[in-house]
Amino acid sequence: MPNTPIMTVADLHKTYGKAGSKQYEALKGIDFTVNEGEFVGIMGASGSGKTTLLNMLATLDQPTSGEVTIHRQPITHLKGNQLADFRAKEIGFIFQDFNLLETMTAYENIALPLTLQNVAMKRIKPAVENVARQLGIAEFLTNYPNELSGGQKQRVAAARALINQPAMLFGDEPTGALDSSSARELLDLFSKINREQAVSILLVTHDPFSASYCQRILFIKDGRIGQELKRGDLPRKDFYQQILDTLGTFEQ
Amino acid sequence: MLTKLAMTGFKNRWRDYLVLFSGLIMSSAIFYMFEALATNQSFLKENTGIGLVGIIFQFGSVLLTIITLVYIGYANSFLLSMRKRDYGLFMLVGARKGKIGQLIWLETLLVGIVATLAGILFGTLLTMGISQLLISSLGLTLHHLAAWYFPAALKTLLLYVGLFLLAGLFNLIALTKTPALKLLHSNDQPNRPQLKPVWQGIQIIGGTLLIAVGYWSMANLDKLQMLGIAIALVTIVMGTYFLFNAIFVGLIVWLKHFAIAHRGLNNFTLSQLSFRIHNYTKILSIVALLFALALGAITTGMGFHRQVPMMANASNAYDLALVNPTKTEQNQIKALKPKTQTNYHFKVAKKAVYYQASEFNTHPFTTLNMHGKNQLAFKAVTNSAKQLQKSQYSYQLGQLQTNGNQMKAAVFLTPSAYQKLAQPEKTLTVFATKDVTANLPAIKRLVKTAAKHDASYKVATNLGGRYGAYLQINSMYSGLQFMGFFLGVAFLAMLASCLMFKILSGAAADQHRYQMLDKLGTTQRQLTGAIRKEIAVLFILPGIVGVIHVLFGLQMFKFLMVTSPYTGIWLPFLIFAGLYLIYYLITVKIYQRIVLQ
Ligand SMILES: Nc1ncnc2c1ncn2[C@@H]1O[C@H](COP(=O)(O)OP(=O)(O)O)[C@@H](O)[C@H]1O
Ligand SMILES: [Mg+2]
């Protein structure tokens, strides 16, 4: 089902600071949609509002105004248990700093979203092993996070994000703390998951190389979407060059 | 320049330092509070009259020193973990090791001295407040109690500064010997829960044996004396530690096999516990011990408190006796609605007090006849003159004769023999109310009125009957009661500050874990539930062990108490459980506030 929107964002505003005190408008009206199975990138310079936007989309923060709909469900006013349920079932995130629980093994970290839902133990095990195999971390399942490399940690985080088969996967600079070869491996994995399992991915990055893995890129500047770039059938190398060119003009 | 850097680190972490300082201040305040009693010889001598109490206090002091040692080691590692990153950074930017060493040393000492001085001040106030509270609420009489006691302050200061000098030295070595990079990343070391069955088996057997030896020596304190306390102390502390160490790891690994461990956040909670297992076993052993000490002290204090009216009631069948009571006094007696009241006429000679036998035959005199080993078990027996003459309990009439006549024999005469005596005739009015302890203020007023015409009533030992006995026994036991309650409160506060320290020092690190769980879609209920469970484990485990220690430890007081130390034990246990529960709830609240915001 191409071109069915999985996420729509309408006129999203975010102003930091309380009324009366010093205020800063980080998002000044953002509109876009992500279709089912799409791999979308959001690019922008540091401080342009990328993280702010992602936090609104991923229910981690509330917008000042505007609406976000994921899987036909408006999410900006979710609260309490509904919010928790939505996070646990519909979305997955990967952050720059891994966000693994260092008190638990890789296996336990990956299984966490399922145990939170009280899924039976005998169903958890195959699910964890399955996703771990796909991400190439099956042999590290009994390791604790500090016994893993950065790339392995990020793959564990990805496995945890994917185990619930979420409608949307969000990544905020997931390759930011990785060396280039680990970054490449992770991005290849994202592409593969996107292709094979039709998981919709929204990737926030300031790095053109990471962005070149996306099918569509939204450029954000001063809290607004300034430009959009579609990869189409372009090979990745050429798309990369196109991104660099766009950035050259866009960032001025 | 480096000093300035160090100061900024200090400012950035004022919240952590607040935790550190409040913990240390509490600890030194309690140590001072204890020493203010333990080193005050004149207080101990004056208020207990039991030589062993002084020795018990000395051992208590040794014990508290050991606990303080662990506590400071613990606070120091908190300080160290707080500063590791900063010092690692200083090294990375090229600071000299010697200079850094100097800074560490200085900082540790400064923290120690400031906290200790504040603690001594706080301890003085605490001692004052708590003793006032106890004295007024328990109706105690105490002598030579001083809230400010210089030797105790000196001892506290010397111990703490000494320990901080050691701690500073330790930090110096630990920090300057570690490479800078390791210092930067020292916070994320996991503790793999490992099962080493043989080693654990040895620990379990050894721990159980040690505790058994400890219990045995407490039960045989009458034979072992001082040695018994020393043995019990060492073996129980070590045994508890071994048992916790062995069982805790095993318990968590074992619990992870159950399906229930993989529901909700249970597995997370177990991992949290096992992550910091080594810190926990130490702190739990200490808390178990403090729990036992606090509960034991309060139970004993209450035992003494409960015993006073019981012993007074068993001393005589009558509350008070008055010689020739005036009209006002008679009215005062009437107002007390006495259960029994009898007037006996008598004449006093040099060696004896003469009564008329006929009066005793019409109004028999009641004595309390002891039976059984227990001094508090008695049977009330009514005696005619003849029976009383033969009774070994006739001294109870003697006690009531008052006015310096208590040692004189009571002789019962025929009317004619009585008439022949030339001495002036007096009346002895004896009475008993339903409950002497309920009428203490009214009887006190009565005695005061009587003292106006006979000064001997002013002295408690001149008063016969239950009222006089109550006054005497109460003053004798006041010191013991006071110490029981005072120490109970002190140990409870120490326990509180230990656990508080432990939990708060982990909270900062837990904050990001709970935030992560929140992002993963954990409901608020699951989060608060996880916190409640984790802290509950930390409270329940030492609580159970503490209760067991107390049950055996009360054996020590067999020889100090008239009744079994176990009678009515449920009351202090219940009160203590209530306090512990309140403390648990407060801890959960604070922790939730820090972690969940
Ligand atoms: N909690 C906050 N309070 C106030 N201002 C904020 C907050 N978070 C971000 N900002 C500001 O909003 C702008 C966008 O930040 P962010 O979304 O983090 O940028 P990016 O991720 O693109 O680097 C920045 O100027 C930043 O200073
Ligand atoms: Mg960002």
Which 3-state string (H, E, C) describes chain A? CCCCEEEEEEEEEEEECCCCCCCEEEEEEEEEEEECCCEEEEECCCCCCHHHHHHHHCCCCCCCEEEEEECCEECCCCCHHHHHHHHHHHEEEECCCCCCCCCCCHHHHHHHHHHHCCCCHHHHHHHHHHHHHHCCCHHHCCCCHHHCCHHHHHHHHHHHHHCCCCCEEEEECCCCCCCHHHHHHHHHHHHHHHHHHCCEEEEEECCHHHHCCCCEEEEEECCEEEEEEECCCCCHHHHHHHHHHHHHHHCC
The 3-state DSSP class for residue B179 equals coil
Give A39 or B500, the one with higher predicted confidence: A39
What pLDDT, on a 0 to 100 scale, did the predictor assign at position A1? Answer: 47
- pLDDT at residue B188 greater than cutoff 60: no
The closest CB to that of B188, out of A93, A118, A146, belongs to A146
Tell me whether residue B518 is in a domain. no
Q: Do B522 and A88 touch (CB under 8 A)?
A: yes
- In this prediction, residues B537-542 reach a mean pLDDT of 88
Last residue of some domain: B189, B215, B250? B189
CA distance A105 to chain B (A): 9
Tell me whether residue B374 is in a domain. yes
Q: Do A101 and B268 touch (CB under 8 A)?
A: yes
Q: What residue ranges line ligand 1, CB within 6 angstroms? A: A 16, 24, 26, 44, 46-52
Cα(A246) to ligand 2 centroid in Å equals: 20
Give B349 or B42, the one with higher predicted confidence: B349
Tell me whether residue B388 is in a domain. yes
Amino acid in the structure at residue B202? I
Contacts of B513 in chain A (CB under 8 A): 101, 103
Q: How far apart are CA B121 and CA B178, in angstroms?
A: 38
Tell me whether residue B351 is in a domain. yes
> Domain range for residue B181?
1-189
Cα(A91) to ligand 2 centroid in Å equals: 19
Last residue of some domain: B138, B155, B189? B189
Q: How far apart are CA B380 and CA B315, in angstroms?
A: 11
Of the listed ranges A194-198, B111-115, B488-492, the one predicted with least confidence = B488-492
Q: Closest ligand 1 atom to the C-alpha of A50?
A: 22
What pLDDT, on a 0 to 100 scale, did the predictor assign at position B451? Answer: 86
Nearest of B344, B326, B315 to residue B405 by alpha carbon: B344
Domains in chain B, number = 2
Nearest of A129, A116, A127 to residue A163 by alpha carbon: A127
Give B371 or A85, the one with higher predicted confidence: A85
Last residue of some domain: B413, B443, B463? B463
Per-residue pLDDT of chain A (252 residues; tens, 9 = 90+): 457 899 999 999 999 988 778 889 999 999 999 999 999 999 998 889 999 999 999 998 999 999 999 998 999 988 888 888 899 889 999 988 888 988 889 999 999 999 888 888 889 999 999 999 988 999 999 999 988 999 999 999 999 999 988 989 999 999 988 898 999 999 999 999 999 888 999 999 999 999 999 999 999 988 899 889 999 899 999 999 999 998 888 766
Q: How many CA atoms lie within 13 A of B401 on its CB side?
A: 23
- In this prediction, residues B29-38 reach a mean pLDDT of 85
Residues ≥6 apart with Cβ < 8 Å to B455: none
Highest mean pLDDT among B9-23, B164-178, B199-213: B199-213
pTM score of the predicted model: 0.76
Closest chain B residue to A90, measured at CA = B521
Tell me whether residue B77 is in a domain. yes
Tokens of B301: 């204090």
Tokens of B284: 């739990």
Tell me whether residue B198 is in a domain. no
- pLDDT at residue B124 greater than cutoff 90: yes
- pLDDT at residue B5 greater than cutoff 70: no
Tell me whether residue B591 is in a domain. no
pLDDT band for position B553 (50/70/90)? confident
Give B68 or B178, the one with higher predicted confidence: B68
What pLDDT, on a 0 to 100 scale, did the predictor assign at position B430? Answer: 92
Tell me whether residue B136 is in a domain. yes
Q: How far apart are CA B8 and CA A58, in angstroms?
A: 36
- ipTM for the predicted complex: 0.86
B376-417: per-residue pLDDT in tens? 778 888 888 888 888 888 888 888 887 777 778 888 888 888
Cα(A63) to ligand 1 centroid in Å equals: 13
Please tell me the residue having the least CA distance from ligand 1 atom 26: A47
Q: What would you report as the CA-atom Rg of chain B, rounded to the nearest whole angstrom?
A: 32
Q: Do B523 and A101 touch (CB under 8 A)?
A: no
Closest chain A residue to B276, measured at CA = A103
- In this prediction, residues B196-225 reach a mean pLDDT of 87
